[in-house]
């Protein structure tokens, strides 16, 4: 039996993909311009993965992602990830990003400060641009210091990031629309990020 698998699945934002292995998720693919393009990118990213039916634990993750992309509030923080091959710096960035709940935002600079490296905002942006698990590691919730969208490496760039933030804010008092968000967001509140003293765990933009 293959040790790695992948599958495409439909969501409110289009057809996403998920790849998994024995230690957890190895990657998530956001929609491309066509389903075929998403399939091809998954194959390039994970050449050892075989397209197959997701096992029950992965199917549960897929359903949770669907729910989040339909306006739910699941933070997905307990979803196991295969962290192999990631640098220590990137893992610290991803750990802090995972602590930002749906409907909240932080900035590249705030993540860097939480790491104890206040001058590393650009490096944080680069790490988020390399994030293998968008949505599960919510890089879209990290914005530029001005409140603007900042970069986003997925297909559609800033417009996709704005759409994700719109979906997550749909049940809050301040409901932005796609027209409000086009390419910048002024978040109503900032997330609390962990203190750098809390321990270590796990170019999008700047600031």
Active site residue 16: no
Interatomic CA distance for residues 127 and 4, integer angstroms: 24
Among 30, 79, 100, 139, which one carries the catalytic annotation?
A: 139
Q: Is the dihedral of CA 67, 70, 72, 78 positive or negative?
A: positive
Under 8 Å between Cβ of 136 and 123? no
Count Cβ atoms within 10 A of the Cβ of residue 176 and give its class: 0-12 exposed, 13-18 middle, 19 or more buried: middle
Count of Cβ atoms closer than 10 Å to residue 116 Cβ: 12
How is residue 25 annotated by DSSP? E
Return the active site residues. Answer: 139
């Amino acid at each position: 039996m293959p040790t790695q698998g992948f599958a495409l699945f439909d969501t409110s934002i289009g057809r996403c993909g998920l790849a998994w292995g024995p230690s957890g998720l190895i990657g998530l693919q956001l929609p491309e311009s066509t389903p075929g393009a998403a399939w091809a990118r998954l194959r390039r990213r994970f050449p050892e993965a075989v397209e197959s039916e997701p096992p029950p634990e992965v199917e549960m993750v897929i359903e949770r992602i669907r729910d989040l992309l339909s306006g739910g509030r699941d933070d997905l923080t307990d979803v196991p990830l295969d962290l192999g091959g990631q640098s220590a710096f990137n893992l610290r960035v991803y750990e802090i990003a995972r602590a930002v709940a749906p409907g909240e935002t932080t900035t590249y600079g705030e993540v860097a400060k939480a790491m104890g490296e206040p001058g590393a905002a650009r490096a944080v942006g680069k790490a988020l641009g390399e994030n293998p698990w968008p949505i599960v590691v919510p890089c879209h919730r990290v914005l530029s210091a001005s409140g603007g969208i900042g970069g986003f490496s997925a297909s559609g760039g800033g417009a996709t990031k704005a759409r994700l933030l719109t979906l997550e804010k749909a049940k809050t008092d301040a409901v932005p629309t796609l027209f409000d968000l086009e390419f910048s967001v002024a978040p109503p509140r900032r997330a609390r990020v962990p203190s750098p003293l809390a321990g270590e765990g796990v170019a999008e933009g700047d600031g």
